[in-house]
Amino acid sequence: MDVTLHLAQDPEADALLGRSPLAALVGMLLDQQVPMEWAFKGPATIAQRLGTDDLDAHEIAAHEPEAFAALLSQKPAVHRYPGSMAKRIQQLCQYLVEHYDGDAEAVWKDVGTGKELLKRLAGLPGFGKQKAQIFLALLGKQLGVRPTGWREAAGAYGEPQSFRSVADITGPESLVKVRAHKQEMKAAAKAAKAAGE
């Protein structure tokens, strides 16, 4: 895996996401309740604070929990909720060590179908169905991981040029389109909630 991604809108952080399967998974895990760029810059910040140029699932899984939480809490914090996200990242890495010998790419390498890949992704700690579908769409659209039926398994996120998620962000223009879509969805949800009251 060595592609150019534009999710963090930061060349160094995006380079790490494009070459490191674990960094991409951790970025996706962090992508909640913070701006997308902040979330996807997180893996590079963590690597830098660990004094390395990549993330290692074995190292993170074995890290002392309080020390790892402190690492994420340093200013600028890696996430709005650095303590709980540190715990989630360690749970993800522990799962990868237990089930995939610490190799994040093994989650999707040699998988036969999109349905099976979705099941594997949804089984990761911190990945619900929606997050799994978005990451599956990212794998298919930008990282060349396209098992049979991947678009169908990714649902609406798999549709070409849908601009629904990070899977469609290839630069500043597409980021604006994805942001606009997310704002439309929030407004629609708010309106539906108000109509139901």
> What pairs with residue 148 in β-bridges?
113
pLDDT band for 180, please (50, 70, 90 cuts).
confident
CA distance 152 to 140: 11
- In the chain, the number of structural domains is 1
For residue 36, what are the domain limits?
11-196
CA distance 32 to 136: 17
Picking from 17, 9, 12, the residue whose alpha carbon sits closest to that of residue 138 is 17
4 within domain boundaries: no
CA distance 34 to 12: 20
Res 1: pLDDT: 59
48 within domain boundaries: yes
Q: What is the pLDDT of residues 150-170, one digit of tens each?
A: 999 999 999 998 888 889 988
133, 150 contact by CB (below 8 A): no
Q: What is the pLDDT of residues 72-81, one digit of tens each?
A: 999 999 999 9
112 within domain boundaries: yes
CATH number at residue 164: 1.10.340.30
Instruction: Between 174 and 30, name the one with better pLDDT.
Output: 30
pLDDT for residue 147 is more than 70: yes
pTM above 0.95, yes or no: no
105 within domain boundaries: yes
Instruction: Between 27 and 186, name the one with better pLDDT.
Output: 27
Q: What is the pLDDT of residues 55-95, one digit of tens each?
A: 999 999 999 999 999 999 999 999 999 999 999 999 999 99
3 within domain boundaries: no
pLDDT band for 172, please (50, 70, 90 cuts).
confident
6 within domain boundaries: no
